[in-house]
Homo-oligomer: A and B are copies of this chain.
C-alpha cells in the first residue's frame, strides 16, 4: 500500500480505510475489460453503498447501476442517478417507494421470478396507473432464487405482465456459485454457464414477440473471467472496486489490489499464548468467515503492518465484539507488535466489512484525507 501519512496515525481506531489509488485502478480495470468484450457494465453499488464512491465508479449519472436496497435507490436518485436495477425480488409492500422513484423520473427496474409477484405488480400498477419496468430473475446455478432458464413459467410471466401493460426490460442471473470455484477454469465455466442460461431465458420470452432488450449477467469472479459475452448486453459486479481475501483466494486479484482495510491499534499482549490483542473485533471486521472453506483460511482477516504491507500467516484468529485476537504464527513474537502500534487488516469479504462502518476514511492518491459516508438501512 502507500507509505504511512501523518494524519493516518492520529485517526481514531478502528476505522475502515479505502486506498483510493487501488480503488481507481480496480474500477478502471473491469470497465476496460467489459468494454473490450463489447458489453456494458452495470456496477452493483452495494459494497461501499456510498455516493462518493459511485461518483468515481459511474461519473456519468445516466449510466446503469445496480442496488440492493430501496434506501440505496433513493440515495443514488438524490445524487442524480437515473438508471437503477433493484436486484432483490420485489414484494408488494415496497411498491409505494418504487412508484415514488418512478414519479421522480428515475428509471428503477424491479425484479421478480413468480406469477404471484407479477400479479401483485399488475394489480398495483392498475390501481395507481403505473407502468413498472421488470427484470425476470433466472437461476443459472441452483444457488439462490430465479427460474430455471428453460422453465415455461418465464414466458408465461412475461406474457402476463406484457399484456397488462408492464414493460419486460430484461432477464438477469447472479452467478453466486462462482464464489465456490476451486480453479480459474471453473470460474470460466461458471461465466459461460450463466451466459448460456440468460440466452436460453430470453428466448423463452422473445418467442412471444416481447423485445426484452437487456440480458444481464454477473458476479465479480465471472465478470473477470468471462470470455464470450455475445448477445449479453450487460455485466454486473460489486466487490471488484475494492476486492477482498475471498477474491484473492479465487485468483481474481492480487493482495496488492485490495483497496480496503480496517485500521486497528494493538491494545494488549498475552506473551504466554503469543497473542496480540487489537481494538478491532467483529464490530469492525464483521463475522464473515468467507475464506474458511477456501484453500487459504485467513481467519477474520490478514494483518498488514502500519504501511499496509501484508504479514505472511499473521491473521486475526478470534474476535469478540470489540476485541480481535491475533494468535501469532511460529517465529513471530508479541514484541514485534508493541502496544499502541497501528496495524491494517484486509477483509475476508469487503461487502460485509464495509457494512459494519457508517463511513470510510479515504487515503487519496495524493495522500489527502477524505470521508465517504455510507448509505444506511433499507
Contacts and interface: CB of A to CB of B under 8 A. Distances in A.
Interface of A: 10, 12-15, 46, 68-70, 88-94, 97, 113-114, 116-117, 120, 139, 142, 144-145, 176, 265-270, 273, 277, 279, 282-284, 286-289, 320-323, 325, 338-340, 351-352, 355-359, 376-378
A287 B352 contact: yes
Contacts of A282: 288, 352
A351 B88 CA distance: 26
Nearest to A116: B339
B358 A91 contact: no
Contacts of A357: 377
A268 B136 CA distance: 12
B91 A267 contact: yes
A340 B15 contact: no
Contact of A145 (B13, B268, B289): B268
B286 A340 contact: no
30 contacts: A12-B94, A12-B378, A13-B93, A46-B321, A46-B322, A68-B321, A68-B322, A69-B322, A88-B267, A89-B279, A90-B267, A91-B266, A91-B279, A91-B339, A91-B340, A92-B340, A114-B339, A116-B338, A116-B340, A120-B339, A120-B340, A139-B270, A142-B273, A144-B277, A144-B320, A145-B270, A176-B320, A284-B378, A287-B287, A321-B351
A144 B325 contact: yes
A142 B273 CA distance: 9
Contacts of A351: 321
A70 B273 CA distance: 28
Given A145-B277, A325-B144, A93 B356 contact: no
Describe A's contact surface by its main secondary structure. loop
Contacts of A267: 88-91, 117, 145
| In the A-B complex, the 9 residue pairs with the closest CB atoms | A287-B287, A89-B267, A116-B339, A145-B268, A91-B265, A358-B376, A68-B322, A89-B268, A88-B322
Nearest to A89: B267
A94 B144 CA distance: 44
Given A145-B323, A356-B355, A279 B116 contact: no
A141 to B, nearest CB: 13
Given A88-B267, A91-B265, 11 more contacts: A12-B94, A46-B321, A91-B340, A92-B340, A93-B265, A117-B339, A144-B277, A286-B287, A287-B288, A357-B377, A359-B377
Nearest to A119: B339
Contacts of A269: 114
A5 to B, nearest CB: 16
A279 B88 contact: yes
B68 A114 contact: no
A70 to B, nearest CB: 8
Nearest to A14: B378
Contacts of A14: 378
A267 B355 CA distance: 23
A320 B144 CA distance: 9
A247 to B, nearest CB: 15
A12 B15 CA distance: 30
Contacts of A376: 358
Nearest to A148: B272
Contacts of A289: 287
Contacts of A69: 283, 322
A77 to B, nearest CB: 17
